[in-house]
Amino acid sequence: MQFVCPFQRGAHVSALPPLSPLFAWLEITEFCNLRCRHCYASSSPKGTHGDMATADWLRVIDQLRQLGVRHTQFIGGEPTLHPDLPTLIRHALAAGLKVEVFSNLTHISENVWQALQLPGVRLAFSYYSDDPEDHEDVTDTVGSHARTRATIEEAKARGIPLRASVIKVLDGQRHDQAREELLQVGFYDVRVDRLRQFGRGADGRAPDIKNLCGQCGVRKFAISPWGDVWPCVFSRWMPVGNVHHNSLTDIYRGEQMRAAVASLAEVFPEKHSMGKDKKPDVVCTPDCQPSFNTCSPQLVCAPDAECGPTGQKKSVVLSPHRSVRYYDPGVSNTDC
Ligand code: SF4
């Protein structure tokens, strides 16, 4: 079976090797202590860690490096509640990967803190309101607001780079005040975005490919707690292989992934156009959040960001595609 290449119209996919992936989401658990209304993974306290043993994840991390992946995000569920997260973080760092842990910041143990403090690791989280009741209406968990706020302070005190986003989930939610509060706390920039209609956030509706950003599977992919590989964490109904049965290289370069990307290119042709130098437009480095409308080049200096001089504090001009700065002077003093 042949597919039309999403990057070079008219060429067959099999004629062009896909670009090396840069980023991978490792969804290491479907267990979470919260039950957020918008959760694309439908995680809850009833979730499990799936059937990926720690040895499986270690093997996957080795394969990521061999594939050329540079950045990985541990996500879930709540990844800090996976008993072997510190081991996985250390293995990823030893493999040369940059690590981000996407957490709800409500339950971090000392051994996880130790791993989070290692160079090359940062934390990310979502926030909903400056009002505890409002925030907990989204998380469906009493006390979550105070715990997240306390953990933000703990992370700052420990010098851990932090990235925050605010997600609009409910009518009347104080999302603007939430953003303002985070800016006051010291975050350099905070993005406010809408929820994505996947998982519990879909409220019973079938997943719609139009709710994806369109660049899923292009230089990125996600791996589930069961070893399934998806083009991204949102496109969970589009499995393209399983790491229990095949190597990541075979899956990423395989026909199922190409078919998935080709189907996305049909729906999002503007995201798969050619650059003026006749090479594929360089896609953003993925850091799609559960609610973000586009991929956001946050993890590396991205081609569509307006990168500026380093080493001095200044007003940053954001490109239309640029989103979040980190609470980390070492990062926020640069525009990349
Ligand atoms: S959105 Fe995150 S914190 Fe909320 S239930 Fe899902 S995994 Fe847990």
DSSP string across 37-101: TT-TT--BTT---TT--HHHHHHHHHHHHHHT--EEEEESS-GGGSTTHHHHHHHHHHTT-EEEE
What's the CA-to-centroid distance between 35 and ligand 1, angstroms?
Answer: 6
Atom of ligand 1 nearest to the CA of 77: 7
Hey, whose CA ends up nearest to atom 6 of ligand 1? 39
Residue 35 Cβ < 6 Å to ligand 1: yes
pTM: 0.81
Q: Identify which of 26, 28, 37, 43 to mutate to test ligand 1's pocket (most ligand atoms within 8 A of the CB).
A: 43
Closest atom of ligand 1 to 76 CA is 7
Q: What is the pLDDT of residue 71?
A: 95
CA proximity to 5, closest of 298, 317, 325, 261: 261
Answer whether residue 317 shows pLDDT above 90: no
Pocket test for ligand 1, best of 25, 28, 34 (most atoms within 8 A of CB): 34
Q: What's the 272 CA to ligand 1 centre distance in angstroms?
A: 31
Residue 271 alpha carbon to ligand 1 centre in Å: 28
pLDDT of residue 271: 75
Q: 228 pLDDT exceeds 50? A: yes
Strand partners, 71: 23, 98
pLDDT, tens only, 180-193? 999 999 988 788 88
Highest-confidence range of 152-156, 279-283, 312-316, by mean pLDDT? 152-156
Report whether pLDDT(38) > 80.
Answer: yes
Question: Which of 33-47, 243-257, 317-331 is the least confident region?
Answer: 317-331
Instruction: Tell me the CA–centroid distance for residue 103 and ligand 1, in Å.
Output: 8
Work out the average pLDDT over 192-203: 88
pLDDT reported for residue 274: 52
CA of 234 to the centre of ligand 1 (A): 14
Q: Which atom of ligand 1 is nearest to the CA of 41?
A: 6
Pairing outcome for strands 121-127 and 98-102: parallel
**Distances from the Cα of 124 to the Cαs of 11, 14, 64, 215, 288, in angstroms?**
39, 37, 21, 21, 12
Checking if the pLDDT of 214 tops 90, the result is no
Residue 306 banded pLDDT, cuts 50, 70, 90: very low
User: Is the per-residue pLDDT at 151 higher than 90?
Assistant: yes
| Residue 276 pLDDT > 70 | no
User: Where does the pLDDT of residue 333 fall: very low under 50, low under 70, confident under 90, or very high at 90 and above?
Assistant: very low
Query: How far is it, in rounded angstroms, from Cα 2 to Cα 111?
Result: 49
pLDDT digits (tens, 9 = 90+) for 86-144: 999 999 999 999 999 999 999 999 999 999 999 999 999 999 999 999 999 999 999 99
> In ligand 1, which atom is closest to the CA atom of 290?
1
Mean pLDDT within 236-263: 95
Asked whether the predicted pLDDT for residue 315 surpasses 80, the reply is no
Mean pLDDT on 251-259: 95
The confidence score (pLDDT) of residue 128 equals: 96
Lowest mean pLDDT among 76-85, 151-160, 239-248, 311-320: 311-320
The set of residues, in sequence order, having a beta carbon less than 8 Å from that of 307 and lying 6+ positions away, is 301, 335, 336
What is the rounded average pLDDT for all residues in the chain? 81
Helix (H) or strand (E) holding 221: strand 220-223
| Cβ of residue 201 lying under 6 Å from some atom of ligand 1 | no
Q: Does the CB atom of residue 78 touch ligand 1 within 6 A?
A: yes
Give the number of the atom of ligand 1 that is nearest the alpha carbon of residue 33: 8
- Quick check: 22 and 68 in contact, CB under 8 A? yes
Nearest atom in ligand 1 to the alpha carbon of residue 139 is 4
Tell me what pLDDT residue 245 has: 98
Q: Is the CB of 107 under 6 A from ligand 1?
A: no
**Between these two residues, 126 and 196, which has the higher pLDDT value?**
126
Report the pLDDT value the prediction gives residue 48, as an integer from 0 to 100.
97
Question: Percentage of the chain with pLDDT > 70?
Answer: 76
293-305 per-position pLDDT tens digit? 334 334 333 333 3
How crowded is residue 280: how many other Cβ atoms within 10 Å of its Cβ? 18
